[in-house]
């Protein structure tokens, strides 16, 4: 068992190293968004294809977070954290010098691999090496630094892309990564590998990741290729095959990768589905907004970055107070209110146009932050609280996975709707060849689909009552 750090200075240094990695993950989760129009123009591609720059990164995070979390729990935390930093830094260099979109996407896959290692190990380091009385504050620091990084990403990306080039949104990670590796190597205690009698469920991990990959590919590409395309049909079949194999494996193995029996409790399934859709809608809109700001509002990249800073900045400000408030008042009312705000801002985006002026745009961006800021604590906590007795850990892991996979699905779904809405008789149109009228029409169609989708988490959140606390 690892020794708890008792020296206050070493405690702070460890927490700083963890926060440093998390904030870097957060920045790279959003820094690319504002540069998407520029990258689409540079590579001569459409809005759907360039979405893979986001999808590849988030998909690796969603698919591998549980894997690295379980490996780190076996006594390999420091090794995985440092390896994640190294992979992230080297792949950032590869992203920054990529001469083609294919190479960039391959580098982003590797970058997501490193990011998944960092994100999975960060909370475990706090649990292992910090006193129990510091745990709440430490996990709060992780949440806050992740939000700060995510908030700062668009502004940093806009400034770097406008004044230098899009390549620098990746190259800036190199000196940061080197500093992080050297610092973490000094302050994180050495690993103490532990013996585990249960074998690691590699088949479960592989089939779950495969199901995620094939599902994402079908959702993202079906609008461009058509539902009868051989590749779409093949990937759909592989998605179903991986899903079937995963379910069979998890129900029959004594040590499953994920205990899927947890979904037999309908309340847990409902609140998890609601939180997944909250993330789908938030990230889907955040993916498409930079194109709207560039094409319709004619903002430069630095200005676009500042506008995209609004939702995550609001989240960082209000999420902690609302989380504490829900601890005293119950979760359901806050979750329902958050989903109500999602319906409202989705409706605003359906009718938003340059002629509307700045006020509706600002209002919708603020409401995005308010909705997610309210939902972050209460909605995510409902997942853990609704889990069957003894399955709080599984619920916690699934909650984190839901955040990243929701981002993957949101980007893929909104990209698919927009591609379908803007394609002409000749096929998919490159972003630079879209006229403003066609773009705005596609934007409204996509947001209308998102509006219909936003009703579902509202219903799912409303039908599940708060869990009764013992002694209440």
User: What pLDDT is stored for residue 67 in this prediction?
Assistant: 81
User: What pLDDT is stored for residue 470 in this prediction?
Assistant: 46
pLDDT confidence band for 309 (50 / 70 / 90) = confident
Q: Residues 331-383: pLDDT tens digits?
A: 788 888 989 999 999 999 999 888 888 899 999 999 988 888 888 777 777 77
User: What pLDDT is stored for residue 349 in this prediction?
Assistant: 93
Distance of CA 241 to the CA centre of its chain: 25
User: What pLDDT is stored for residue 391 in this prediction?
Assistant: 65
User: What pLDDT is stored for residue 429 in this prediction?
Assistant: 60
Enumerate helices (H) and strands (E) in the chain, giving the number of each. Answer: 18, 0
Give the residue, 84 or 30, on which the prediction is more confident: 84
Residue 140: pLDDT over 60: no
Residue 194: pLDDT over 80: no
Mean pLDDT estimate for the chain: 81
Nearest to 85 by CA among 125, 118, 108: 118
Residues facing 424 on adjacent strands? 427
User: What pLDDT is stored for residue 94 in this prediction?
Assistant: 92
Q: Residues 384-418: pLDDT tens digits?
A: 777 777 666 666 667 777 877 887 788 888 888 88
The span from the CA of 103 to the CA of 243, in Å, is 29
Give the residue, 139 or 423, on which the prediction is more confident: 423
Mean pLDDT of 162-172: 85
The span from the CA of 365 to the CA of 80, in Å, is 37
User: What pLDDT is stored for residue 241 in this prediction?
Assistant: 94
Half-sphere exposure (CA, 13 Å, Cβ side) for 25?
32
Residue 306: pLDDT over 80: yes
Tokens, residue 98: 């990529």
Residue 250: pLDDT over 70: yes
Residue 472: pLDDT over 50: no
DSSP 263: G
Q: Residues 442-463: pLDDT tens digits?
A: 899 999 999 999 999 999 988 8
pLDDT confidence band for 471 (50 / 70 / 90) = very low
Mean pLDDT of 7-22: 80
User: What pLDDT is stored for residue 1 in this prediction?
Assistant: 45
Integer-rounded Cα radius of gyration of the chain = 22
Query: Does pTM top 0.75 for this prediction?
Result: yes
- Residue position matching structure tokens 């209308």: 448
The span from the CA of 187 to the CA of 182, in Å, is 9
Q: Residues 408-446: pLDDT tens digits?
A: 788 888 888 888 887 764 556 666 667 788 888 889 999
The span from the CA of 185 to the CA of 174, in Å, is 17
- Residue position matching structure tokens 């991986």: 242
Contact indicator for 53, 178 with CB cutoff of 8 Å: no
The span from the CA of 40 to the CA of 402, in Å, is 28
Tokens, residue 295: 């094409």
What percent of the chain is modeled with pLDDT above 90? 14
């Amino acid at each position: 068992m690892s020794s708890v750090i008792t020296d206050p200075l070493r405690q702070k240094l460890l927490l700083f190293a963890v926060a440093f990695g998390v904030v870097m993950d957060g920045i790279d989760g959003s820094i690319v968004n504002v540069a998407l129009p520029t990258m689409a123009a540079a590579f001569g591609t459409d809005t759907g294809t360039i979405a893979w720059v986001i999808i590849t990164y988030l998909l690796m995070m969603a698919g591998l977070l549980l894997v690295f979390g379980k490996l780190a729990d076996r006594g390999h935390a420091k090794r995985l954290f440092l390896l994640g930093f190294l992979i992230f830094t080297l792949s950032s260099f590869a992203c920054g010098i990529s001469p083609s979109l294919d190479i960039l996407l391959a580098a982003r896959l590797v970058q997501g691999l490193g990011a998944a290692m960092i994100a999975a190990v960060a909370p475990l380091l706090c649990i292992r090496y910090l006193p129990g009385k510091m745990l709440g504050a430490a996990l709060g620091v992780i949440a806050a630094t992740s939000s700060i990084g995510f908030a700062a990403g668009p502004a940093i990306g806009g400034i770097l892309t406008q004044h230098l080039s899009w390549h620098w949104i990746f190259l800036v990670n190199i000196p940061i990564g080197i500093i992080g590796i050297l610092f973490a190597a000094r302050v994180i205690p050495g690993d103490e590998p532990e013996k585990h009698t249960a074998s690691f469920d590699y088949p479960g991990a592989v089939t779950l990741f495969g199901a995620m990959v094939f599902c994402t590919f079908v959702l993202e590409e079906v609008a461009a290729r058509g539902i009868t395309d051989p590749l779409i049909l093949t990937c759909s079949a592989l998605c179903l095959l991986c899903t079937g194999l995963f379910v069979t494996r998890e129900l029959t193995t004594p040590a499953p990768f994920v205990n899927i029996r947890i979904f037999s409790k309908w309340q847990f399934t409902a609140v998890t589905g609601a939180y997944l859709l909250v993330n789908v809608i938030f990230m889907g809109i955040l993916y498409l907004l930079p194109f709207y700001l560039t094409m319709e509002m004619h903002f430069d990249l630095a200005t676009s970055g500042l506008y995209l800073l609004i939702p995550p900045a609001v989240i960082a400000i209000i999420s902690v107070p609302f989380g504490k408030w829900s601890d005293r008042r119950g979760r359901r009312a806050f979750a329902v209110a958050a989903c109500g705000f999602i319906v409202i801002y989705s409706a605003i985006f359906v009718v938003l146009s340059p002629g509307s002026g700045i006020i509706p745009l600002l209002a919708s961006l603020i409401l995005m932050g308010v909705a997610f800021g309210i939902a972050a604590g209460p909605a995510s906590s409902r997942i853990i609280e609704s889990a069957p007795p003894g399955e709080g850990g599984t619920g916690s892991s699934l909650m984190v996975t839901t955040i990243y996979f929701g981002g993957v699905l949101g980007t893929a779904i909104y990209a698919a709707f927009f591609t379908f809405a803007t394609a002409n008789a000749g096929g998919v149109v490159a972003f630079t060849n879209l006229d403003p009228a066609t773009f705005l029409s596609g934007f409204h169609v996509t947001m209308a689909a998102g509006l219909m989708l936003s009703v579902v988490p509202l219903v799912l959140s409303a039908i599940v009552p708060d869990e009764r606390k013992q002694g209440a």
